[in-house]
Chains A and B, each alone.
Chain A
Amino acid sequence: MDPKEKARRKLEKAMRRPVNDVVLEVQKGTIDINDLFKKIEERVKEKANG
Chain B
Amino acid sequence: MAKSCASAVLDAALQYLEDNVDRISVCEGQPTTYEHATSTKGVATGKKLAMSSTPTFTGPAPGDGGGSSRKTAVDAEPTIAVDASGSGDHVALCKSGTSALLYVTTCTLQVLTVGNTVTIPTWDIEIGSPT
Contact = CB atoms under 8 A, between A and B. Distances in A.
A48 interface: no
A19 B5 CA distance: 45
Interface in B105-131: 105-108, 110-113, 115-121, 123-131
Chain A interface residue number, banded: 20 to 34
A22 B131 contact: no
B117 A27 contact: no
* Interface SS of B by simple majority: strand
Interface residues of B, number: 48
A41 B56 CA distance: 36
B91 interface: yes
A23 B113 contact: no
11 contacts: A1-B19, A6-B56, A13-B76, A16-B78, A19-B79, A22-B111, A22-B118, A24-B108, A32-B128, A33-B129, A37-B130
Interface of B: 3, 5, 10, 13, 18-19, 26, 52-57, 65, 75-81, 88, 91, 103, 105-108, 110-113, 115-121, 123-131
Given A13-B52, A28-B124, A29-B103, 14 more contacts: A19-B79, A19-B115, A21-B117, A22-B110, A23-B121, A24-B107, A24-B110, A24-B118, A28-B125, A30-B126, A31-B126, A32-B128, A33-B5, A33-B129
